Structure 1
């Protein structure tokens, strides 16, 4: 059933719930519940203003809150930017719940959430939406609206770049700004990151999506700064912008305050969620431990076994988790693409736009070294582990690259297809962030078709890609198959954009190869 806000309007200096509600990281017996209170008009995100307030919460088995499943209260203060998180427990597995908050007689909107199946449950079906890369200034978040309107999703998986750090007119350029972001300057401090998260949460489609479904999120680089690594970022100049470690601490604090995410190992986002016997979901953090991206064209750096994308501890954790999993499907949420892809065969006139999109030099677009292609030893170790231990039904779910892709993942691209792939990868395009047709200022599906054909010709394991679409994807899992339905928006600059099914691919259990299917799941 569609959600109703159920909110009491705040007046004058009364508290308000201007940033909506959210839930996330569901478990069989619990889920995180989130909101942000504005205790007084001056207490805007990042301001540090506003007295502490007592926040009540309740969760129920029905949208009218007749059958209570839990209630309590906690304080919201400026120390956490007046955000609150509740780890609601004692819930039943695979069950829909409704929740809300209240302060001083003012009631928040109502949210709906859902717990995961019991660990040993024989689950028939799961459906996850996947999204990534939502630049405020690049367009409207209509993709979120379409997901909010669906009633068949178990969760929404956000694969990174939930917010962008840039100042107004930096990305995209001033001539292409659809709507100005706040604060207008690039964010570098705790106050700035808080304010940016708060501004994103004023978007009605984002709030609707978070109120409709539990969110499972990982970060990528723009939650910090472009092309971030352990010691810095492309978009960070130490002499001018201060200490990188301090900036990262501020960005992480704001992220965990504003997102319904449980901090995991070492304050990162790598963690594991289980969905009955049908799926395990391994979520990666590919920014906190990585070495600096290699120099373009330097094969010795790219293949250096002493350089890492994941960090030793996280890679061992992932390998052991994949080995130990008894689920039918092993899902891996990765913020950057793991499939090896060479771009060198793309016609010269299209190298510039692709280089701008990928953040690499125009003269040397062979691989994108910000993704797994720049850290080949980590990738070889992981994919060889899948092959050598005969771990099947592994599906990588990826964002970052602003394009839809359906890939078969080989250990060595040179040996494909003689050597079978060891995994499948589905890459979701951006919600709004620029892709090829935006940069070329060309109609969709015109000039980009040449580049798509060239990439597929040079990379036989790439079964399909679309360089122009903005939108989302929906993954269905059953005992027999994993199917990804790719969707495209009619126009990211239109807040009322429609959505259309673009393409679907599936892999069958026990068979890593992809096949096209004509229809999305019903």
Structure 2
């Protein structure tokens, strides 16, 4: 790597200027993809077919990612193809007349010909362009930005937020709309980036919109690599990764449904091999194919910071958790069971207590807000149970969520109270529905007991929700379930069980606001998006309130 030059930080453009430039930026990002794919195929055989990405912004660094295809047989998961030298370049202009850092990585079949460059020595809060070269092949061009300095006064932070993208169930239009905004600092993905099932086995409403590769359930390293490779061919996904840096955590489907430390609901020992071997394969493929730094013990739990405004505590709620308890099982309250594992919970508590930022954001795979499902008719109870992976009768709580690990939740919320920690916001995916909640100290006595934190849950990009399972029009039968949920859970301020889409979280010193956007039709590649609702929490309140319009 060459030493970065002492370029001055680029000033953040005015919000209006950024929005006006969004369409031009999105178009510019798309052009090299079409142009270089053809030229690379014509000269020397090397191609960049899976886009580019950046991730985990630091004040002085950024992680760059791509995958090179050195020849026709070197497809993802094949184990074929020669060692290939790939040069990366980072510049302060899109024309690459001011290259400030560069280097070469030799990638091989041992890493599925993926390429990562963890570039350091950069300027904080600075926009950069990057690309990769292999022989005569030139990759698409990506744009990224480093985080502000740790002590910087940051006026605003804006994150695109998404989760649960099932390739077979629909298109990734949510990613296209996020990419086209042009005003995001980062893209936060909260888990289920891929799905492990065999083709047609999960969440397609009876119709496979576009088939998985491989067609079988993924179990081996080659399988997971092939599935990641298929996802990375999506043009909307490529556009978003090229437009803005990514911060990602995994959930269960990056491994298998309802995963825990010793197994998963969708894993049969013997028939599908050893669980630890499957997890090792899934993790290896994940870190090869995602713009994510492996952190403590090779997991995704780690901490990032945006100046004095916010820090982001990213959790791994699959690698260390105890097996899910049965419905009605008193084990949900046992101190011997954990969703985080002891080391991660201590790490989270210490980080929250030591935080000196205005906001403490927690990237959280499964809901921490308690939810009781009561008084639902059978025709709604059963599809809701199917969505949540629970038995169809006697449903009280979702034991895959923090509801199944109440000792950990009480310890964490008690820690917030005892240390007077405010402005904690949980950002959650997993359950293919959108929610805005207070996180009560005691749900039974809320609001008198008070709220420890707030939680914004984003719906799925494409994975089935209630109307898909029932095969009915959105916001018809599900409204009965919504009314029952909110009646039984006064801390739940809003839920949408039917829509697909994404969120945009906008943070200032005064408030954190989540704007929820929904897609017109997940099965259409040109699906439109529209604003649906907005909720915010004001600094110091630990409470959710509705807002009449999205942030401009």
TM bucket (normalised to shorter chain) is: over 0.9
What is the Cα deviation at residue 364 of structure 1? 2.1
Structural mapping, 1:32-431, within 5 Å? 32-172=63-203, 175-298=206-329, 300-431=330-461
Report if the CA contact (8 A) 2:426-2:455 is conserved.
Answer: yes
Deviations 1:24-63 (A, max 9, x none): 0000111000000000010000000000011011011111
Separation in structure 2 between the aligned mates of residue 174 and residue 376 of structure 1, nearest angstrom: 34
* C-alpha distance in structure 2 between counterparts of 1:224 and 1:69, whole Å: 38
**Counterpart-to-counterpart distance in 2, 1:172 and 1:158:** 20
In the alignment, the residues of structure 1 paired with residue 48 and residue 394 of structure 2 have an alpha-carbon distance, to the nearest angstrom, of: 49
Partner residue, 2:505: 475
Structure 1 segments unaligned to the other structure (5+ residues): none
* Structure 2 counterpart SS, 1:196: helix
The Cα offsets for residues 314-357 of structure 1, whole Å up to 9 and x where unpaired, read as 00000000000000000000000000001122222200110110
Deviation readout 1:226-249 (Å, 9 max, x if unpaired): 000011000000120000000000
Out of 485, 488, 497, the position equivalent to 2:515 is 485
What per-residue deviation string (whole Å, max 9, x for no partner) do you get for residues 381-431 of structure 1?
001111121100000000001001000001110120002101000000000
How large is the RMSD of aligned CA atoms in angstroms? 0.9
Q: Equivalent residue of 2:132, what SS? A: strand
Deviations 1:67-86 (A, max 9, x none): 22211111011010000100
**8 Å contact from structure 1 (residues 470, 488) kept in 2:** yes
Distance 1:53 1:256 in 2: 19
Deviation at 1:198, TM superposition (A): 0.2
Residue 453 of structure 1: aligned partner: 483
Q: State the shift of 1:173 in Å.
A: 5.3
Q: Is the 8 A contact 1:168 1:174 kept in 2?
A: no
Assess if the C-alpha contact under 8 Å between 1:270 and 1:285 holds in 2. yes
Distance 2:148 2:494 in 1: 33
Partner SS state of residue 405, structure 1:
strand
Quote how far apart the aligned CAs of 1:513 are: 1.3
- Correspondence 1:521 to 2:542: no
After the TM superposition, which of the residue ranges 494-503 and 68-77 deviates more from structure 2?
Answer: 68-77
Shift of 1:295: 1.1
Whether the 8 Å CA contact 1:338–1:373 is kept in 2: the answer is yes
Equivalent-residue separation in structure 2 for 1:189 and 1:27 (angstroms): 33
Structure 1 length-normalised TM: 0.99
Distance in 2 between residues matched to 1:173 and 1:401, nearest whole Å: 16
Q: CA deviation at 1:481?
A: 0.4
- 1:295-325 CA-to-partner distances (Å, cap 9, x unmatched) read 1111x21101100000000000000000000
Contact kept in structure 1, 2:168 and 2:204, CA below 8 Å: no
SS of the residue corresponding to residue 41 of structure 2 reads: coil
Q: CA deviation at 1:276?
A: 0.1
Q: Shift in Å at residue 470 of structure 1?
A: 0.3
Q: Find the aligned partners of 2:160 and 2:215 in 1 and give their Cα distance.
A: 31
Deviation at 1:150, TM superposition (A): 1.1
String of CA shifts for 1:162-186, please: whole Å, max 9, x gaps: 0000010101258221111110000
Distance across 2 between alignment mates of 1:80 and 1:289: 26
| Alignment partners' CA distance in 1, 2:372 and 2:326 | 16
Matched positions, count: 521
